[in-house]
Amino acid sequence: MKIGVIRFPGTNCDRDVAKAIEIAGGTPEYVWWSEEDLTDYDGIVIPGGFSYGDYLRAGAMASITPVIDGIKSLVKEEKPVLGICNGAQILGEIGLVPGVFITNEHPKFNCEWTPLKVSTNRTPFTKSFKKGEIVDIPIAHAEGRFYTDDIDLLKDQDQIVLQFAEKNPNGSMEAITGICDESGLVCAMMPHPERATEEILGSSDGLNFFKGFL
């Protein structure tokens, strides 16, 4: 399977994501922000980083680039899309997932390993986990606090994908740090699974997100 890895000016986790896709058995290919036709790809990952230096707010500038139209077209074709950290912020910005990721409760960059609860396994990305399973994956963000006006709807539609299992490091509503659209094919998560794909890195819990994707 050929997976497009989106690159914006300021993206800095693209190579890590490409390596994770390779380990999982897929074929990654870098896609620049200026490309609009993504029909050759079986799925898309929007990696973390600081697209356009987080100018205005995280994901705001990236949300109006040509590649966004291509991503929306793939979603209509029911192909999977995973947004990680800055990618999650972008998916919220363009309305492909509900809610937004805003400045941390304590407004500073937070980088640490965090135990996470897999709150649903109905998505391709989490189907290899048991519901309620605890995984260890790092976070690295300053604007990762999840907020939505309709938390009850997310609960009713089983759209909460990941929650902090112990402390809530950024003040997210209900400790949410990963969500999906109604279909489950579009997932936005603030933690970095590509940084937890091999035991030498400290954990391989993140690899199943990419294996499930493929």
Catalytic residues: 85, 192, 194
- List Cα–Cα distances, 90 to 49, 132, 202, in angstroms: 11, 27, 28
**HEC assignment per residue over the chain:** CEEEEEECCCECCHHHHHHHHHHHCCEEEEEECCCCCCCCCCEEEECCECHHHHCCCCCCCHHHCHHHHHHHHHHHCCCCEEEECHHHHHHHHCCCCCCEEECCCCCCCEEEEEEEEECCCCCCCCCCCCCCCEEEEEEEECCCEEECCCHHHHHHCCCEEEEECCCCCCCCHHHEEEEECCCCCEEEECCCHHHCCEHHHCECCCHHHHHHHC
